[in-house]
Chains A and B, each alone.
Chain A
Amino acid sequence: MLGEDILYLPIRELASRIHAKKLSPVELTESYLDRSEKFGPKFNAYVTLTRDRAMEHARAAEKEIAAGHYRDSLHGIPYAAKDLLAVKGYPTTWGAKPFENQSFDYDATIIQRLDRAGAILIGKAAMIELAGGLGYSGANASLTGPARNPWNTDDWTCGSSSGSGAIMAAGLAGFALGSDTRGSIICPTTWCGLSGMRPSFGRVPRTGVMAIAWSMDKIGPMARTADCCGIVLGAMAGHDPADHDSLPDTLSAFSYSHATNSSRPLRIGRVKNAAGDSNPELNAAVDAALKIMEQHGAKISEAEVPDGPYEEAAELIILMEATGAFWDLIESGRCSELEDPLGKINGYASMEISAWDYLHVQRVRTYLQKNVDALFDRFDVLAAPGEGTAARPIQPPQPPAGGRGPGGAGRGNRPPDTSKQLDGISSLCGLPAISVPCGFTKDKLPIGIQFVGRALDDAKVLAAANLFQSHTDWHTKHPVIS
């Protein structure tokens, strides 16, 4: 098995070695599979390993590359996909007991695109049941148990892309895919010390992906660096006629460039009135990160998110759309098979929200979009702590919160200080965001800095994170795995 010196490398460095025929895709894939078999159960990281498929694709990649047919940076790179993406020939459980035997006879569009890029799927990542679609109150709300954080196994990875977070922090794959309806990429990315990106809404196809809330669901990469995220996004983005909400190619296609140089300085708005601002340890790390960026040409000034019912709007939209998405489960009563006490009955309560209220919330959302969009006349990106806290302990199911989770939209035991979280605001408005590591707490848990950009300006978000990571080495740190 290859060592951690290889398995924790970012995609560009793995690709460089594969392209130069100094690293075998077969050996790399076997190593990640063996390491996943050895350590995956310790972190409850996977639902399924797709060894047969992976080895077949790895051998094909090796043969092609040996013959001089190198495709691009993902050729021969092993990855894991959250278990809400359909993969032909394997279970797709959506992390939930009622669907533990579910399978599809086709691959999700993203899986097809990554196949075409030569990436190698090695497994289906564990997740919160239904990605929190019917609400949940703790890390245990998963078919495979609570995902344990490799930085401290008493802590959670955060959800709902909980397995993807564990996989990447433990060095079990070259990159992973998560989904983000309201924070489910940004939170596990931050708590696990990763670089993870939620692309603009409509940029990445969702055909073959479980729906929670059609107007809010996005798929994105969780990886070692922002550069990795850009590479993966470039392979996944682009119009998909089968996805109703997919943007046309003129808007959704994404050609990634790693360049950090720009004709003018990056204008960064340091958000001071978002949740998390009350945590001095996190604030200090973010301010130190921005200081470094300022020293390398960025212009930093304070930004204030306009007031508005962002969290309420996001949560209500998710509740109402999820009630539609999971209506069969609610109507049949099979929601009682879910693990979480909240998920068992939340759908019944959500049925009482009126169509008028749904429309009103969606009309308010348009206002909120406009107000937030105006901020980007002055800033290229907004910056804030990735989350309001560092990783928190795994706890048993919490008393009823009366919503999708104590901390907001279905995110288990996150803190209640979510009234105006930057990732909630950007999720609601469909804006691109990335979180990258920028330090550690006194308890040696990762801290992240989050950059949010204007709709479809995913390149600026990546440029900001690339600028930071080109002058720091936080992204090279990983936990001791034994």
Chain B
Amino acid sequence: MHRSANPDSKSRFTRREFGRGAVAAVAAAALAPASAISQRGDASAPASPQQGPDVSDLSPAARAEIDAKVENAIRRWGDRMNDEQKTRIRTIITRHVRMLETVRKFAVKNGDSPASVLKLFTTTGRPQPSAMPHAKIPPASGAN
């Protein structure tokens, strides 16, 4: 299995280049609340799922992704939402997609494993599995 030895390989854009793009994307995301208000206009007017934040800066693929996700969320959960909440769902999903677009630009290679369970980097090496015996686990509760 391939493992990338050099995260800053010249085959990809540099972190600095990446950062410039990311900052622009984040700035857009940070403005989402204000832009959402201005886009919505009169707050008392009936809302529709198609109303929402300005996405003109996003790629057609990203805009299509937002539309598809909004449609799916409303198909699945729409009977629980009023018109205002349906508009909010679009705003929320738009922000999600903006963040995802930023992270997706960050290239990874085949052997780059996820930190799904966080592994700390230490000067003494990676943590080893515990040799301690298992303790009695409290009743299942979802409270861990």
Contact = CB atoms under 8 A, between A and B. Distances in A.
Contacts of A200: 120
A348 B102 contact: no
Given A248-B128, A316-B99, A365-B114, A105 B26 contact: no
A402 interface: yes
A207 B135 CA distance: 11
B2 to A, nearest CB: 14
Interface in B15-65: 15-16, 18-20, 22-23, 25-27, 29-33, 36-37, 53
A365 B115 contact: yes
A49 interface: no
B130 A239 contact: yes
Interface in A311-339: 311-313, 315-316, 319, 325, 328, 333, 336
Interface string B98-109: 011011101010
Contacts of A250: 128
B142 A362 contact: no
Contact of B144 (A207, A346, A349, A365): A207
A362 B93 CA distance: 20
A207 B136 CA distance: 11
B139 A105 contact: yes
A349 B132 contact: no
Interface stretch (A141-149, A150-158, A210-218, A435-443): A210-218
A281 to B, nearest CB: 21
A403 B92 contact: yes
B112 interface: yes
Interface string A221-247: 000000000000000000111111111
A370 B7 contact: yes
Interface residues of B, number: 72
Contacts of B37: 399
A454 B122 contact: yes
Interface in A299-317: 306-309, 311-313, 315-316
Contact of B112 (A209, A342, A352, A367): A367
B18 A307 contact: yes
A360 B116 contact: no
A367 B15 CA distance: 11
Contacts of A325: 142
Given A370-B7, A398-B33, A399-B37, A215 B92 contact: no
A106 B144 CA distance: 12
B112 A363 contact: yes
A349 B131 CA distance: 41
A13 interface: no
B123 A92 contact: no
A242 B138 contact: yes
B130 to A, nearest CB: 4
Contacts, number: 234
A240 B135 contact: yes
Contacts of A315: 99
B11 interface: no
A306 B108 CA distance: 17
A395 B142 CA distance: 32
Looking at chain A, what size class is its interface with the partner chain? 35 or more
B34 to A, nearest CB: 8
B136 to A, nearest CB: 8
B143 A350 contact: no
A455 B121 contact: yes
A209 B142 CA distance: 9
A456 interface: yes
Nearest to A353: B96
Contact of B138 (A207, A216, A344, A373): A207
A238 to B, nearest CB: 10
Contacts of A309: 22, 26, 99, 102-103, 106
B118 A430 contact: yes
* Residue among A348, A357, A364, A366 with the highest chain B CB neighbour number at 10 A: A348
Given A315-B99, A341-B88, A418-B30, A369 B108 contact: no
A350 B72 CA distance: 12
Contacts of B129: 248
A241 B92 contact: no
A276 B65 CA distance: 33
B139 to A, nearest CB: 7
Contact of A349 (B7, B18, B29, B73): B73
Contacts of B93: 349, 352, 402
B108 A363 contact: yes
Contacts of A344: 85
B29 A104 contact: no
A104 B143 contact: yes
27 contacts: A86-B138, A104-B143, A209-B143, A241-B133, A242-B137, A248-B131, A307-B16, A309-B22, A312-B29, A315-B99, A348-B77, A348-B89, A350-B96, A351-B77, A357-B103, A359-B114, A360-B104, A363-B113, A370-B7, A370-B121, A373-B121, A401-B91, A403-B96, A416-B30, A416-B31, A417-B30, A419-B23
Given A242-B144, A316-B100, A402-B33, 7 more contacts: A201-B118, A207-B137, A239-B130, A341-B85, A345-B92, A366-B115, A373-B121
